[in-house]
Amino acid sequence: MKRRTLLATAALGLGLAFGGAANAQGMDKVKACFVYVGPIGDLGWTYQHHQGALELVETYGDKVEIAWQENVPEGADAERVLTQMALSGCNIIFTTSFGFMDATNTVAGKFPDIKFEHATGYKRDHANVSTYNARFYEGRAIQGHIAGKMTKTNKIGYIASFPIPEVIMGINSYFLHARKVNPDVELSVVWAFTWFDPAKEADAAKALIDQGVDVIASHTDSTAPLAEAAKTNGAVIGFGQASDMADYKPSPRVSSIIDNWAPYYVKRVGELLDGTYAQTDSWAGIPEGEVEIGEITDAVPADVKAEAEAMRDAIAAGTYHPFTGPINKQDGTPWLAEGQVAPDGDLLGMTFFIEGITGDIPQ
Amino acid sequence: MVRLEKRPSPSAFWQWATPILAVLLTMVAGGIMFALLGKDPIAAMRTIFWDPLFNAQFASYSRPQLLVKAGPLILIAIGLSLGFRAGIWNIGAEGQYIMGAIAGAAVGLYFFPAENRLIFPLMVVAGALGGWAWAMIPAILKTRFNTNEILVSLLLVYVAQNILASMAVGAMRNPDGGGFPGSRNLSQYPSAANLELIPGTGMHWGVIAAFMAVIAAYILLQRHILGFQIKLAGQAPRAARFAGVNPTRLVVLCMGISGALAGLAGLFEVAGPAGQISIDFNVGYGFTAIIVAFLGRLNPIGILLAGLLMALTYIGGELAQFMLGLPAAAIQAFQGMLLFFLLAVDLLTNYRVRLGAKREVA
């Protein structure tokens, strides 16, 4: 048994030696590794992360080598995948789903010289763990505006993945901006409890359509909800989620939120190459180009399109924040006073719906 | 012309040779698939089957991981094999695994943060009971109302998954977790943690339990009257009834044992490698264990080896993905081929392949 322990220690040392070059003096070559929760062909969330990874090779050529693993479950397996990646000589590892949070931090503690970057999480237990996220709620505001204007039944829907703050703030932003332009609008939320499961996502979309919903937004990673909407001959519209999903243009996909991770990945790996890398907690949005609004198609009337684009530009210019008071919580208690802008901390810990949304967050 | 001739009794040789042949055929067919994907098939096989065991860079980490991955597979498959031998088809081990984890974790979370050495044993008992109780639903429905245990046990998996989701976002959610789903991490709670018994070996209580289950099942089948009854009920149900085997008792026992073992596997996983009750805590061990049980010929020693082999394809498959850039779907197809070839060559156990025309029998 002692010998095995010794071997383990030796391998750990080897891993450290591999990562050891990643110090302040910069590096000649970086191996960047990516852990994905879905398949790179999901045409949504994971696809966009992979586009960002490919951009690294595009930008840095021979100086960067990339490796990735798809369909990694968010549980015990993630820790093993991360450890094996660390042992294989990765210098920086991007873990691109919320559920990899604990595994990322645990493995980071064992490999202090390898950099870990966790998307959408909040734990940075070690100096070598950074977190990054995008302000998707900015895009949701624009979708909400379009939804409020476009719905004929006054029923709009949202396919939610998990009841975590990131998702809840998206629902709130979507509803807030739909209600602003259409006081009669009602929102139905379906919880899919998955990030990627085309069958479940399609079922959720069907359920919403059966309830009379005619605008569907989704927070899951596949194109299945749009495929369901496409079967209604234009009666139901939706949005591209995470990726442009341009195949469904001009309708049912009338616009989209595009996650553009490439600038962040290029920046971080570049910093590692030139030795300026430091721990961060990044949360960029439309102004930085990390969240993009995909083309608003002709299925949307010109005036609505112009309003939506004006909102996008105001957010980009920093003159408009989607969560600006007065906003009350679902139970009627005040959250933001007149003119008050939501602090980031409130958004990142958001566990409540805003006033007007019916239904509960699963408890 | 090739034709098949039924053997008077299953061939003892082929019974053991078919799994090996299936593995070899999988390697050949998988190799062709990898080659078509533009990857070197030899390198792929080496990465999947050799590197996790002997590569200097990975082996010291992945060898213990083999036990961590194989432990729950073996534990569940042993339980399933008893029922399968008797013709009792518990397909819902995944649900029993989940319910065992929930019951066991509930005990641990109830006592948090008290430290007492009795907490973990109590969790083990609760885990086994949780899985057992979940398996009793199809068992009792079968014995009372003659429902089909395949359907009931399978559908209860989806019920269990919804209970799991509700626990993760509701009753068991970590109150210090900032509103995020998922329970407290039990592996960070000393009295409840199922940690490696010897660091760096991967050996945790679940692996020990799997080995104990292998030995117990072996003795049961070879030496115990219940083992004899199980085998008899599977091979000759009518004869079994004449011999005084009570079918109701057998269903309740086999479903109960497999449920309890699946529940134990869930408990050891939630208190150790997984650490917490989360929405997607289950990753399909309960279903993969069905493959393991058949790959191991429903024989305890066979299951032990099959579980280790299956774990190897998982860990080696992960390595192959990021070392060689093989898509995840190719690895899953590779694992699927294993079951496919196993079932296909199983034909050789019961049939003889004859070349040439059928001889006329006067």
Neighbouring C-beta atoms of residue A359, cutoff 10 Å: 12
Domain with CATH 3.40.50.2300 in chain A: 21-134+261-284, 136-251+293-348
The total domain count for chain B is 1
Q: Is the peptide bond before B10 cis (omega within 30 degrees of 0)?
A: no
Asked whether the beta carbons of residue A102 and residue B185 sit closer than 8 angstroms, the reply is yes
Q: What is the ipTM of this complex?
A: 0.76
In this complex, is the C-beta atom of A301 within 8 Å of any C-beta atom belonging to chain B?
A: no
Asked whether the beta carbons of residue B61 and residue A8 sit closer than 8 angstroms, the reply is yes
B287 lies in some domain: yes
Topology given in CATH for the domain delimited by A21-134+261-284: Rossmann fold (3.40.50)
The domain of B116 spans: 58-325
Helical H segments across B86-201, by residue range? 93-111, 119-145, 149-169
Query: B40 pLDDT exceeds 60?
Result: yes
Asked whether the beta carbons of residue A88 and residue B321 sit closer than 8 angstroms, the reply is no
Class of domain A136-251+293-348: alpha beta
B18 lies in some domain: no
Closest listed residue to residue A285, CA positions, set A308, A313, A315: A315
CA distance to partner chain A, nearest, from residue B257 (Å):
26
B277 lies in some domain: yes
Give the CATH number for residue B313. Answer: 1.10.3470
B106 lies in some domain: yes
Asked whether the beta carbons of residue A4 and residue B274 sit closer than 8 angstroms, the reply is no
- pLDDT at position A194, please? 82
pLDDT in tens, B131-140: 999 999 999 9
pLDDT in tens, B305-354: 999 999 999 999 988 988 888 888 898 899 889 888 988 888 888 888 88
Asked whether the beta carbons of residue A39 and residue B200 sit closer than 8 angstroms, the reply is no
- Would you give per-residue pLDDT tens digits along chain A (363 residues)? 344 444 444 444 444 444 444 445 789 999 999 999 999 988 889 999 999 999 999 999 999 999 999 999 887 789 889 999 999 899 999 999 988 998 999 999 999 999 999 998 888 999 999 999 999 999 999 999 999 999 999 999 999 988 888 899 999 999 999 999 999 999 999 998 888 889 999 999 999 999 999 999 999 989 999 999 999 888 999 999 999 999 998 889 999 999 999 999 999 999 999 999 999 999 999 999 999 999 999 999 999 999 999 999 999 999 999 999 899 999 999 999 999 999 998 998 898 999 999 888 876
Residue A322 to residue A140: CA distance in whole angstroms: 9
B192 lies in some domain: yes
Quote the Cα angle for A21-A26-A27, to 5°.
55
B67 lies in some domain: yes
Residue in A with minimal Cα distance to B203: A1
Asked whether the beta carbons of residue B200 and residue A87 sit closer than 8 angstroms, the reply is no
Closest listed residue to residue A224, CA positions, set A19, A359, A4, A43: A43
pLDDT in tens, A244-301: 999 998 889 999 999 999 999 999 999 999 999 999 999 999 999 999 999 999 999 9
- pLDDT at position B360, please? 54
- Bridge partner list, A156: A187, A215
- B329 contact residues in A (CB cutoff 8 A): 39
Q: In the numeric block, which tokens belong to residue B263?
A: 């529940």
Q: How many CB pairs under 8 A join A and B?
A: 118
- B311 contact residues in A (CB cutoff 8 A): none
pLDDT in tens, B86-127: 999 999 999 999 999 999 999 999 999 899 999 999 999 999
Question: What's at A5, amino acid-wise?
Answer: T
In this complex, is the C-beta atom of A198 within 8 Å of any C-beta atom belonging to chain B?
A: no
CA distance to partner chain B, nearest, from residue A240 (Å):
25
**Residue with tokens 């605008």, as numbered in its chain:** A215
B168 lies in some domain: yes
In this complex, is the C-beta atom of A122 within 8 Å of any C-beta atom belonging to chain B?
A: yes
Residue B198 to residue B219: CA distance in whole angstroms: 28
What 3 state SS string does chain A have?
Answer: CHHHHHHHHHHHHHHHHHHCCCCCCCCCCEEEEEECCCCCCCCCHHHHHHHHHHHHHHHHHHHEEEEEECCCCCCHHHHHHHHHHHHCCCCEEEECCHHHHHHHHHHHHHCCCCEEEEECCCCCCCCCEEEEEECHHHHHHHHHHHHHHHCCCCEEEEEECCCCHHHHHHHHHHHHHHHHHCCCCEEEEEECCCCCCHHHHHHHHHHHHHCCCCEEEECCCCCHHHHHHHCCCCCCEEEECCCCCHHHCCCCEEEEEEECCHHHHHHHHHHHHHCCCCCCEEEECCCCCCEEEECCCCCCCHHHHHHHHHHHHHHHHCCCCCCECCEEECCCCEEECCCCECCHHHHHCCCCCECCCCCCCCC
Q: In the numeric block, which tokens belong to residue B115?
A: 């430290």
State phi, psi for A252 to the nearest 5 degrees. Answer: -75, -20
Calculate mean pLDDT across residues B261-285: 92
